[in-house]
Structure 1
Amino acid sequence: MSSDSKRSPDHTWSIGELAERAGVTVKTVRFYSDRGLLPEAGRSAGGHRRYGPEALDRLRLIRSLRTLDLPVPEVGRILDEEDTLEDAIAGQLRELGSRMAALRWREAALHLLRDCAPEERVDRLRLIGAMTTPPSTAPLARFWRRWLPPRLPPRLVATIVEQAVPQPPADPTPSQVLAFARLHAFTSGDCRGTDRGQPAAHRSDNGYRPAVLYDGLIEAFALASPELRAQRAPHQGEALDCFVSAYARACGARDTPAFRHGLSAQLAADPRIDGYWRLVAELSDPSQPTPGAAHDWLRAALVEGELTVHEPVMRGQS
């Protein structure tokens, strides 16, 4: 007997007949029907559900959408044309990308634990266990907002945080997992410790205008970056002049040899966060120098300039 001959005189099917034609169970048809995804054509005299031919096409579409792992509510919105299939696919791709990134981080973490010395395993497990996979950059951003001087303009804080906080690699190596875990541990602590204290320019009692300073430092770092990429030794020039000028303007001084001498001494005495920048360098593109590397290059250029100024005097005294 053909499938059409089984159809009732009113051209509808029972729930079992629809399930048979669609190749699914009665339970599946009832599930989608109960959730409003599969409208009934009516009820039989005995109160049983009846479905028209359009229900078969709709059921097949529902099954196709579900094979994409779309949640039932989202399938309903697509069927009701509240959402587009394109938006649903884009959302699924984003979610799948997040899952795959988490799996890659977990795999790299497992390799890190497997391949380390037994005496290192507990410490590394503690570091990895303290962060999510893939890790969040929120603790790093909070660290910078605490560490920066207060009352900086929001747009300046946003620029600094964007440049200072590395994004987790999508496909990390075991060493990068360890670097990010150590960054997470470093930035989750109290930033007022001796190795993470505030530079003199952050303290308002020194008369600095931090917003002026950081605006100038961002420009100086941008000028120094090509020198770092070219692996040139620290030297005097536009980048150093911009660097010194940022400090001079921030405290209302002039760029003089005496000011440079005092600035060199101040920067040598300032608290440093070298450990942070070393870890960031492990996570960053080598062709993009970190602000920490640019700052170190400019400090070395300042010291080099100091030596150049004093060399003729030393020779004249010898």
Structure 2
Amino acid sequence: MSMSYDGLWSIGELAEQAGVTVKTVRFYSDRGLLPETSRSAGGHRRYGPEALDRLRLIRALRALDLPLPQVRRILDQEDDQDQGDNDGGSALEGAVAERLRALGSQLAALRWREAALRLVQESPPGLRAERLRLIGALAVPPSTAAMARFWRAWLPARMPAPAVAAFLDVAVPSPPDDPTPEQTLAFARLHALTSGPCTGTGPTQPAAHRAAGAEGSAVLYAGLAEAYELAGVQLRRGRPPHPGEALDGFVAAYTSAYGTRDTPAFRRLLAGQLAADPRIDRYWELTAVVLTPPGRQPAPTPGSAHDWLLAALAAQSGGTAPGPPPSAPSGGRPPAPRRAR
């Protein structure tokens, strides 16, 4: 490793040692990332041996695609550490973590674009226009904002925020990290389904919002979430609907919301009301496709769990009522709510 008589390199010598061009060394020098040690009598830059290590560090950081401002912060921290003014590590760790997050988002976008392209490629010609319209409405990577807005408009206006957040965690499916064309189409259809207005006056708005109020609805949905989770276990095992812990929790969610007792009469009334309520099964069918990895049995959803529990309740109650029950059970209890589906 040759040096001049004064132990310093010219810009060309440093570039040769580092395996880069003179232009590269000048670029980093002009931006203050690679300070020269001195200048020659003719005004040429001179660099000490420490400049080679610094230049190699800069190149390594740039190879990680870190922007120059982050490279500068890391180098400044390295200088502080050399002077004993800093423990080191945090600037580099933060920059790497930030870059990993950005790269993860880029990879997710690429995987969704690949799945969308495969969907179009595999679609029959007569369906391509519709599917192009559906996937064209999605952000990349896709967002769940439309579904969250749909459910927020559907829930009681004054329902406590923690209860709303818990409901959204259950009701809104996360986009798969590596989607199949089928999952891409299902998510696009979910987005289209929930992008329309939800005024709270349509046929899917549950009567529970009017009967139980915001606080009662929070109790109801918290209890339903537990019951759905228990029913999901039975669904994964392939068990047919049957009485047990899941059904008891399901009924308890309603009795807790309305401050009433669990009786055979209440169960019969509840079974009839839920059977007569409007349904949004399409949402849960699409959700199951989004959540189910290829080659697996359909993932349980709140909708499929609700169906399982309602079938168990109907069987225990001797079948569902042929029509809607009275507006309120005997004793002044409020009507059973429409299904949270």
In the alignment, what sits opposite 1:263? Answer: 270
In the alignment, what sits opposite 1:54? Answer: 50
Map Cα deviations across residues 209-240 of structure 1 (whole Å, 9 max, x no partner). 21221122122212222221222221222322
Give the root-mean-square deviation of aligned CA atoms: 2.6
Tell me the distance in 2 between the aligned counterparts of 1:72 and 1:210. Answer: 52
Indicate whether 1:220 and 2:227 are aligned.
yes
Deviation at 1:297, TM superposition (A): 0.9
Q: Which runs of 5+ in 1 are unaligned?
A: 311-318
Which of 270, 292, 297 pairs up with 2:308? 297
In the alignment, what sits opposite 1:17? Answer: 13
Tell me the distance in 2 between the aligned counterparts of 1:204 and 1:307. Answer: 26
TM-score by length of 1: 0.86
Indicate whether 1:100 and 2:99 are aligned.
no
Q: Retained in 2: the 8 A contact 1:38–1:59?
A: yes
CA gap of 1:69–1:139, structure 2 versus 1, over 3 A, is: same
TM-score by length of 2: 0.81
Q: Retained in 2: the 8 A contact 1:225–1:289?
A: yes
Which of 144, 147, 150 pairs up with 2:154? 147
Report the 3-state secondary structure (helix = DSSP H, G, I; strand = E; otherwise coil) of the residue aligned with 1:50: strand
Tell me the distance in 2 between the aligned counterparts of 1:138 and 1:295. Answer: 24
Tell me the distance in 2 between the aligned counterparts of 1:116 and 1:162. Answer: 32
Which of 22, 26, 29 pairs up with 2:22? 26
Which of 89, 107, 132 pairs up with 2:139? 132
CA gap of 1:208–1:154, structure 2 versus 1, over 3 A, is: closer
Indicate whether 1:77 and 2:77 are aligned.
no
Q: Retained in 2: the 8 A contact 1:180–1:283?
A: yes
Identical amino acids, percent of aligned pairs: 64
Q: Retained in 2: the 8 A contact 1:143–1:188?
A: yes
Deviation at 1:87, TM superposition (A): 4.1
Tell me the distance in 2 between the aligned counterparts of 1:264 and 1:296. Answer: 11
Indicate whether 1:119 and 2:126 are aligned.
yes
Deviation at 1:118, TM superposition (A): 1.2
In the alignment, what sits opposite 1:245? Answer: 252
Relative to total residues, which structure has the larger helix share, 1 or 2?
Answer: 1
Deviation at 1:19, TM superposition (A): 2.0
